[in-house]
Chain A
Amino acid sequence: MGIESALGEGFFTTKIDALSNWARANAAWPMPMGLACCAIEMMAFAGPRYDASRFGSEVMRFSPRQSDVMIVAGWSTYKMAHAIRRIWDQMPDPKWCIAMGACASTGGMHRCYGVVQGVDNYLPVDAYVSGCPPRPDALLHALMKIQDKIKTEHSVLLDS
């Protein structure tokens, strides 16, 4: 029994790209970088009520080596920035980043000398979530945006 029996007579064609992107998009494991109050909403996002597992992101990995999406939830100080960047560098490619909340996106109300005014100063952010804190559904929306992005990526290169 193989795929032939499921499809009946004929062909099924796809691209490796589409197949791997489909798999990647639906298993985007988050790396929770909970730095402040936003982290509470991030927990709700993973919890049963909002249930990120519906989108394949149920496994919060506290090890950077096992995760695909870093959710920066909260404000980042200059001192912490080095730790965050280091964890980001330890995540295997391909990887994506969500800046959750006003603070991670722009520094938010922490307009002062100690807080980096937006984590995009040292991280390549793919999705920004507005709000202080954003609702968990907003974070789900960001996750879905990232899934859309993953699905349009060219991920497989021909080794010529």
Chain B
Amino acid sequence: MSLELNKTEQGVVDGLSSDFSEDLIDVYQSCDHTYIRVEAENIIQILKFLKEKHHFIFLCDIIGTDRYTSDERFEVIYNIMNLRTQDRIFVKIRVEEENPHVPTATSLWTSAGWFEREIYDMYGVRFEGHPDHRRMYMPEDFEYFPLRKEFPLLGIPGSIELPNTTPDTE
């Protein structure tokens, strides 16, 4: 598919192919957005480069996905925006199912903290160096990751405690 990149996006792709040519895996477009897939190891340097050199200063969101494949099962997607030109790009990395971990982006954007906690809560991807790596929604002692594909829709019976209905007899 031919790419229709505007000036900012072209600058990003050129910059990445010269500075991070080893890490750049794929650039593609879909639904009017540009996606850039890179190697997971240098993700923080790449994000830093985009933030400082290309003015992608706003982190809108970090998304997790479960691709349910045998290799590189989980995907972490950074949705970042250039506030000067209003351009948005998605930077994707993939992680393995076994002990999935990614370096944290909290050094670049403080707001990454909650996004990363949510991804950890739902998929079990750990973010190395996160200052407050707790679960976001589920109880702290919950053992499962609900948005993983193998997790049943109605949950695992008994895995979350209900209140004691006869407190007097405790």
Q: Which residues of A contact B156 (CB under 8 A)?
A: 113
A89 near B162 with CB under 8 A, answer no
Q: A85-B163, A121-B162, A122-B162 are in contact. Are A78 and B154 (CB under 8 A)?
A: no
Q: Which residues of A contact B103 (CB under 8 A)?
A: none
Q: A111-B153, A111-B154 are in contact. Are A122 and B163 (CB under 8 A)?
A: yes
- Chain B interface, number of residues (Cβ within 8 angstroms): 17
Tell me the complex Cα distance, A84–B162, Å. Answer: 11
Q: Which residues of B contact A15 (CB under 8 A)?
A: none
A114 near B146 with CB under 8 A, answer yes
Tell me the complex Cα distance, A121–B156, Å. Answer: 16
Question: B157 CB to closest chain A CB, in angstroms?
Answer: 10
A149 contacts the other chain (CB 8 A): no
A35 contacts the other chain (CB 8 A): no
**Would you list which residues of chain A between 53 and 94 have a CB under 8 Å from chain B?**
78-79, 81-82, 84-86, 89
**Would you list which residues of chain B between 92 and 141 have a CB under 8 Å from chain A?**
137-139
B155 near A81 with CB under 8 A, answer no
Task: With CB as the reference atom, state the residue of chain A lying closest to B144.
Answer: A113
A99 contacts the other chain (CB 8 A): no
Tell me the complex Cα distance, A123–B152, Å. Answer: 26
B69 contacts the other chain (CB 8 A): no
> Could you say which of A79, A84, A117 contacts B139, with CB atoms under 8 Å apart?
A79
Question: B7 CB to closest chain A CB, in angstroms?
Answer: 44
> Could you say which of A82, A111, A112, A117 contacts B163, with CB atoms under 8 Å apart?
A82
A114 near B137 with CB under 8 A, answer yes
A98 contacts the other chain (CB 8 A): no
> Could you say which of A81, A86, A89, A112 contacts B154, with CB atoms under 8 Å apart?
A112
Tell me the complex Cα distance, A78–B146, Å. Answer: 14
A116 contacts the other chain (CB 8 A): yes
B162 near A78 with CB under 8 A, answer yes
Task: With CB as the reference atom, state the residue of chain A lying closest to B139.
Answer: A79
Contact with A along B70-104 (1 / 0, CB 8 A): 00000000000000000000000000000000000
> Could you say which of A79, A89, A113 contacts B153, with CB atoms under 8 Å apart?
A113
A116 near B162 with CB under 8 A, answer yes
Question: B121 CB to closest chain A CB, in angstroms?
Answer: 11
Tell me the complex Cα distance, A113–B161, Å. Answer: 12
Contact with A along B150-168 (1 / 0, CB 8 A): 0111111000111111010
A113 near B154 with CB under 8 A, answer yes
A78 near B161 with CB under 8 A, answer yes
